Amino acid sequence: MARWKCSVCGYIYDETTGDPKAGIPAGTPFENLPDTWTCPVCGAGKDAFRMLSAEDIHAGSATTVSDVMVAELVAWGVNVVFGLPGTSSLGIVEAIRKNPGIRYIVVRHEENAAMAASAYNKLTGRIAACLTIAGPGATNLATGLYDAKEDHAQVLSLNGQVETQYTGPGGIQEIDQDAFFRPITVYNNTVYEKNMAVLVLTRALKYAIIHRGVAQVSVPNDIQKQPLDAQFCTRESCISSPDILPSQVLMNTAAAAINNARNPVILAGWGAYPEGRTIRAIAEKIKAPVLTTFRAKGIIPEDDPYVVGILGNVGSPQARTLVNEADLIITFGVGFSKFTNVPEDKPFVQVDIDPIKLGKNQQSVGLWGNCSLVIPGLLPLLHEREDGGLIKRLAGMKQEWDRQRDREADSTAVPLRPPFIMKVLSDVIPPDAVISLDVGENQWWFGRNFRMQQQRFAMSGYLATMGCGLPGAIAAKIACPARPVFCITGDGGFSMAMSDFVTTVKYDLPMVVIVLNNRQLGMIQVEQMMENYPNYATDLLNPDFARYAEICGGIGIHVGHPEELRPAILAAMSHQRPVIIDVDTDPRRF
C-alpha cells in the first residue's frame, strides 16, 4: 500500500485507510480513485498528488520519536500536559493521544498553559509539561514560564519547531527558540538528531528537578515523526530528591544561638511549607511566635495560638512589632522578598535549600539543606522554655488585629467592601479547599483579611503576574479532583485569562471563580495615590461576567448586596459545575 501527498497543502492519502468521509474504502489504490475525487483539505485534484518514497513514510515503524518521548515522560511521572496543538507539534500530539498514561489539556492561550503547569508543580511538587507550536506558540509561553522560573517551579516546556531543512531567514513561525528561552531556563536544547531525543529529554527533566526550574526542549516537526526504537536509546536518570544536610557542628551552633536568644521569632516561608507541624512543635518548645511570608500563609492554621500572621506589606502591625523586638529571627525557607521587608540587621538562624540566600549578615548562622530534613533535626537540639506570658500576649495581639479587621468588614456597604468579602469567604470556604489567588487588589485583601485554616493556595510569587488565578484553578482541579477549588481574582486579572473559562466547562472541572469587580485596576489606582499622581488610565469597561459564564456553558451569579454573598457561594459549591460569582466591589481601600 502506497501513500500520496498533496503538493498544494501537504495532505497525505494513505491507500491502507482510504478516505472514509468520501466513501473510499480502506485498501483502495490511488489510481482507482474516481477522477472526481479531490483533496479533502484543499480541494486539489488528483493531479496534485505525488507518491511518497520509502524514506518519507514515518508511520511504517512501530514507534516514532514522539511515541518514545511521550512514553519517557510517563515513565518519569509526567501525566498532564497543558497547551495548544498545531502544525509543528502534531507528531507529539498524536503520541499523547495514543498513550493512556498522559492527559492533554487544551487551553485557549499558551500563557495560561504555562501558568497552569507552574501552579500544578507548586501545589503537588510534580512536574507538568507545556506543549505548543514553534514561533508564536512558544513565545506566548514566556510569561507563565518566567513565573515558574522566579518561583522555582519545576516545569517542562516541550515545543514543536519547523522542519530542520527549512531553517533560515523567511521561515514561517520560525524563531531561534534556543536563544529565546535561554534567559528563562535551567536547561534548553533542540533535538537535531533522533537518536539524541531521549537523552535530551531525560536530561531536561533531570535539570528541572535538581535545579528547580524550567527546562525547554524543541523538537522539529520532521524529527517527531521519524521511526525510533526505544530499546536503543541512551537516557539519563535522576535522584528522587537532592537530600542536603548541614554538618552536626553547624546544627549545634544554630541550636545554641536559638537556645541563648531571649526573644526569638520564627519566620516561616514557602520553602518550609510541608513542615508546618514541626515548625509548630519548635514554636511551642522554645515559646516563640510564628510569622509567615505571604506565600506561606496557612502553613499553620491562623487561629493557632502561636501564629500571629504575615510579616510584610499585607501583614499586621503586631507582626512588625514582634520582629522589631526580636533578638534572633529564625527563618525557614524564606526568600527575603522586599514585600516581606525582613529587618536584615538582626541576628539570624537561616535554613534554606538555596545557599545564595544564606548569610544575610555577619550575625547569621546559615544551614544549607532541605527544610524537611533540617527542621526535624533541629527540634531535639532545642531547650524547653517557660511560657513567661507569651501566649497571653499573643492572644491579646491577635484579638486587637481581629477587631481591626472586623471593623473594616462593613456588612452594610454597597458596593461590597473587600474586607467583608474576605470575612465571608473565610467563614464559607471549606478547610480542605484549594485556592488559586490572582494578582492585584484582591490579593492584597486576601493576604490581609482572609483567615486561613487548612486550605492550600497558590499564587504568582516573585513575578506577580495578573491573570494567574484561573489557570491556577484549572491546575488545582486537575491535581486535586476530589477537593473544592476556588479562584479569587479581580476583574483586571480575570479578563486577562477569561477565555479559558470554557476550558473548565469542556473538561468538567467544577470550581468557584469569585471576581471582585471594582471596574478598576485597583492596585494601580492605589500606587498612583501613593506617588501623588492623579488617578488615570485605571478604569475598566467590563462585560457581564455572570452572563459570560452562562454563555460558556457554566453558571453565573451576580452579587450586588452584602446579604447575597454567602448564599451565592454556598449555591455555587452545590452545583458541581464551573461557576463565576461576579461581585460588585468597592474600589476604595478605606
Q: Model confidence over 531-588: pLDDT tens digits? A: 999 999 999 999 999 999 999 999 999 999 999 999 999 999 999 999 999 999 999 9
The cell numbers describing 336, all together, are 527575603
Which of 364, 392, 420 corresponds to the end of one domain? 392
Are both 292 and 193 inside the same structural domain? Answer: no
Share above pLDDT 90 across residues of the chain, in percent, rounded to a whole number = 91
Task: Write out the DSSP string of 198-258.
Answer: HHHHHHHHHHHHHTTSEEEEEEEHHHHTSB--GGG-------SS------HHHHHHHHHHH
Question: What are the C-alpha distances in Å from 220 to residues 46, 389, 451?
Answer: 29, 67, 49
Q: Which phi and psi (to 5°) does residue 531 adopt?
A: -100, 15
Residue 242 lies in a domain: no
Residue 404 lies in a domain: no
Mean of all residue pLDDT scores within the chain: 95
Are both 441 and 524 inside the same structural domain? Answer: yes
The cell numbers describing 186, all together, are 535551567
Query: In this structure, are residues 130 and 83 in contact, taking their beta carbons and an 8 Å threshold?
Result: yes
Residue 237 lies in a domain: no
Nearest-angstrom CA–CA distance, 501 and 506: 9
Bridge-based pairing of strands 3-6 and 12-14 is antiparallel
Q: Using DSSP, state whether 137 is helix, strand or coil.
A: helix
Are both 345 and 462 inside the same structural domain? Answer: no
For 136, residues 6+ apart whose C-beta sits below 8 A from its C-beta are 173
Are both 367 and 458 inside the same structural domain? Answer: no
Sheet holding 456-458, edge to edge: 456-458, 434-437, 485-490, 511-517, 578-584, 555-559
pLDDT at 59 over 70: no
The cell numbers describing 62, all together, are 512501530
pLDDT at 419 over 80: yes
Segment 414-427 mean pLDDT: 98
Which of 392, 423, 443 corresponds to the end of one domain? 392
Are both 431 and 552 inside the same structural domain? Answer: yes
Which of 189, 204, 232 corresponds to the end of one domain? 232
Are both 72 and 128 inside the same structural domain? Answer: yes
The CATH number assigned to the domain holding 177 equals 3.40.50.970
pLDDT band of residue 229 (cuts 50, 70, 90) is: confident
- Residue 205 has a CB neighbour count (10 Å cut-off) of 26
Are both 491 and 548 inside the same structural domain? Answer: yes
Strand-pairing partners, residue 38, are: 45
pLDDT band of residue 74 (cuts 50, 70, 90) is: very high
The angle formed by the CA atoms of residues 237, 243 and 249, to the nearest 5 degrees, is 150
Are both 291 and 433 inside the same structural domain? Answer: no
Query: In this structure, are residues 74 and 45 in contact, taking their beta carbons and an 8 Å threshold?
Result: no
Q: Which phi and psi (to 5°) does residue 82 adopt?
A: -110, 140
Are both 312 and 385 inside the same structural domain? Answer: yes
Q: Which of 156, 158, 238, 233 is nearest to 198 (CA)?
A: 233
Strand-pairing partners, residue 214, are: 155
Are both 289 and 176 inside the same structural domain? Answer: no
pLDDT computed for residue 231 by the predictor:
83
Query: Does this model's pTM top 0.85?
Result: yes
CA dihedral 429, 434, 439, 442 (to 10 degrees): 0
pLDDT band of residue 169 (cuts 50, 70, 90) is: low
Segment 96-125 mean pLDDT: 98
Domain count of the fold of the chain: 4
For 280, residues 6+ apart whose C-beta sits below 8 A from its C-beta are 290, 300, 304, 306
Q: Which domain holds residue 381?
A: 248-392
Are both 186 and 37 inside the same structural domain? Answer: no
Residue 198 lies in a domain: yes
Residue 241 lies in a domain: no
Are both 13 and 89 inside the same structural domain? Answer: no
Residue 397 lies in a domain: no
Q: Model confidence over 422-469: pLDDT tens digits? A: 999 999 999 999 999 999 999 999 999 999 999 999 999 999 999 999
Q: Which residues of 4-22 are buried (b: 16+ CB within 10 A; e: fewer)?
A: bbbeeeebebbbeebbeee
pLDDT band of residue 167 (cuts 50, 70, 90) is: low
Residue 401 lies in a domain: no
Question: What are the C-alpha distances in Å from 585 to residues 239, 328, 413, 573?
Answer: 49, 41, 10, 21
Residue 239 lies in a domain: no
